[in-house]
Amino acid sequence: MTPRERYSAIMNFEHPDKPFIWTFPIRKATMDEWLKQGHPKEIRTEELLNYSWFESLPLATSHYPQFEKIVVEEKDGHVTYYDEEGALRTDGIDAQGSGFVTRKWLKFPVKNCNDFIKMKERYNPDDMGRRGSDFDKAVRRTHTSAYPYMLTIQGFYWTMRQWFGFEKLSMAFYDMPDLIDEMLDFILDFNVRLIRKHLAGTRIDNLMINEDMAYKTASMVSPATVKEKFVPRYKELVQEAKRTCADKVFVDCDGHISELIPLWIESGIEGCSPVEIASEQNIVEYARKYPEFRFLGGIDKRRLSNGKKEVDCEVTAKTIELYARGGWIPAVDHAVPPDVPFENFKYMIKLLKELW
């Protein structure tokens, strides 16, 4: 079987010849440490350790063009700058490009209706500049590749938080409900038109909706608000994605998602990632409670930093049950931190293969 066939089988709760093992792309800060520990240069970790990956399409699915990065100040080891999202933030100079959150946001691009009108100009789904080089070739390859395709689009909460910032968005649900509805409708229309324009004729195995709408212990939006404002729009978006290109539709959401899973299921969403264990979650309990819902992730990154015995304890028990259940792709519950030894990561991959 090909990796794509294995992925499809697991997503359909079947048991193929081998597991489909995945992880988020290894970020620069982690790879810098691993190179010191013997990771060869110029080879992907997936290829080196012989586990799987997703292919993707060269398509800009958020605002386009991005904002110009403008440095405002460099001082005391920190840089303050306007980023590609149009937000003003500060970050450690040495942390630039690490991929790990060390930054602080100071100002967001949307403060009022006029700012929203200007922002909408960057959300033209018909702009062919969204397509990267060899896009047509990449579309054809979605039907022939031995590896599954994942494409990430920007969800409702994710997009509004990028515009407003968390605090202002939280208040806007109460202070500006009409504007919230207008924004939600705009985001839905943008994504539906984006899918129709650029993804018709493609084969996407996993369409991932970025949201990140949960704290460590709860949803950032009340379940009642999600049900009222998000669920009907999710339904329309999922239906269009399934009709046009997607085999499965997932949500990417950090934080504690117990309040959100049943609402996603009601919306037609079929799985989620990354199931962060640090957010007081138990992926095995979720799997038992929602036997037809799929999961990608759930291996506690914190426990990979210690000895191999700790890695064994983290991986073995949950893997045995989740492998038997199906519908689970083992992966670290977000990017692998730089304090995880390369030997521990290799041992985790070895265990995941042996336990199959």
Is residue 93 scored above 90 in pLDDT? no
> What is the model's pLDDT at position 292?
97
In a shared domain, residues 94 and 12: no
Is residue 222 scored above 80 in pLDDT? yes
Is residue 94 scored above 80 in pLDDT? no
Q: Which of 163, 174, 181 has the alpha carbon at shortest distance from 114? A: 163
Q: List phi, psi (to 5°) of 205.
A: -75, -35
In a shared domain, residues 54 and 74: no
> What is the model's pLDDT at position 97?
62
Mean pLDDT value of segment 98-119: 87
> What is the model's pLDDT at position 112?
87
pLDDT (tens digit, 9 = 90+) per residue, 269-318? 999 999 999 999 999 999 999 999 999 999 999 999 999 999 999 999 99
In a shared domain, residues 86 and 134: no
In a shared domain, residues 43 and 130: yes
In a shared domain, residues 275 and 227: yes
In a shared domain, residues 74 and 58: no
In a shared domain, residues 102 and 14: no
pLDDT (tens digit, 9 = 90+) per residue, 320-339? 999 999 999 999 999 999 99
CB contact at 8 A, 295 and 273: yes
Q: Which of 242, 271, 253 has the alpha carbon at shortest distance from 10? A: 271
In a shared domain, residues 209 and 317: yes
In a shared domain, residues 249 and 316: yes
- How sure is the predictor about 99, in pLDDT bands with cuts at 50, 70 and 90? low
> What is the model's pLDDT at position 92?
86
Q: Strand, helix or coil at 232?
A: helix
- How sure is the predictor about 10, in pLDDT bands with cuts at 50, 70 and 90? very high
In a shared domain, residues 129 and 218: yes
The enclosing domain of 8 has a CATH number of: 3.20.20.210
Question: Could you tell me what percent of the chain has a pLDDT over 70?
Answer: 98
> What is the model's pLDDT at position 231?
98
One-letter amino acid identity for 133? S
Q: Is residue 116 situated within a structural domain?
A: no
Q: Is residue 115 situated within a structural domain?
A: no
In a shared domain, residues 136 and 213: yes
CB contact at 8 A, 46 and 336: no
Q: Is residue 117 situated within a structural domain?
A: no
CA terminus-to-terminus distance, the chain:
15
CA-CA-CA-CA torsion sign (91, 93, 94, 99) = positive
One-letter amino acid identity for 305? S
Q: Is residue 174 situated within a structural domain?
A: no
What is the rounded distance in angstroms from the CA atom of residue 56 to the CA atom of residue 151? 6
- Which residues lie across from 55 on neighbouring strands? 149
> What is the model's pLDDT at position 103?
81
Q: In what order do the strands lie in the sheet with 246-252?
A: 150-154, 204-210, 246-252, 271-273, 294-296, 328-329
Q: Is residue 187 situated within a structural domain?
A: no
Q: Is residue 184 situated within a structural domain?
A: no
Q: Which of 213, 99, 202, 98 has the alpha carbon at shortest distance from 151? A: 202
Mean pLDDT value of segment 65-74: 96
Looking at the chain, which runs of residues are DSSP E strands? 70-75, 78-82, 88-92, 104-107, 150-154, 204-210, 246-252, 271-273, 294-296, 328-329
pLDDT (tens digit, 9 = 90+) per residue, 33-64? 999 999 999 999 999 999 999 999 999 999 99
> What is the model's pLDDT at position 101?
66
With a threshold of 0.85, does the pTM exceed it? yes
Is residue 100 scored above 80 in pLDDT? no
Is residue 98 scored above 70 in pLDDT? no
* Residue span of the structural domain in which 198 resides: 3-62+124-152+192-355
Domain count, the chain: 2
The first and second tokens of residue 302, run together, are 């914190």
> What is the model's pLDDT at position 260?
98
| Mean of the per-residue pLDDT values of the chain | 96
What is the rounded distance in angstroms from the CA atom of residue 302 to the CA atom of residue 312? 13
